[in-house]
Amino acid sequence: MAEINVVSSAASGQRVLRFIALLYGAVAYLTFLITILYAIGFVSGYLVPKTIDSGAESRVISALVTNFVLMTLFAVQHSLMARKSFKQWWTRFIPRSVERSTYVLVASLALLLLFWQWRPMPTVVWHVANPELAAIITGLSFLGWAIVFTSTFLINHFELFGLHQVVNNLAGCETPAPRFRTPLYYKFVRHPLYLGFIIAFWAAPTMSVGHLLFAAVTTAYIFVGIFLEERDLVDLFGDEYRNYKQRVSMLIPWRKPS
The 10s digit of each residue's pLDDT in 210-240 is 999 999 999 999 999 999 999 999 999 999 9
Which one, of 19, 15, 30, lies nearest residue 158 by Cα? Answer: 30
The 10s digit of each residue's pLDDT in 169-184 is 998 888 788 888 899 9
21: buried, middle or exposed (CB in 10 Å: 19+, 13-18, 0-12)?
Answer: buried
56: buried, middle or exposed (CB in 10 Å: 19+, 13-18, 0-12)?
Answer: exposed
All structural domains of the chain with their residue ranges: 2-247
Which one, of 67, 63, 78, 80, lies nearest residue 113 by Cα? Answer: 67
Task: Quote the percentage of the chain above a pLDDT of 70.
Answer: 95
The 10s digit of each residue's pLDDT in 134-152 is 999 999 999 999 999 999 9
- pTM, two decimals, is 0.92
Is the pLDDT assigned to residue 7 strictly greater than 50? no
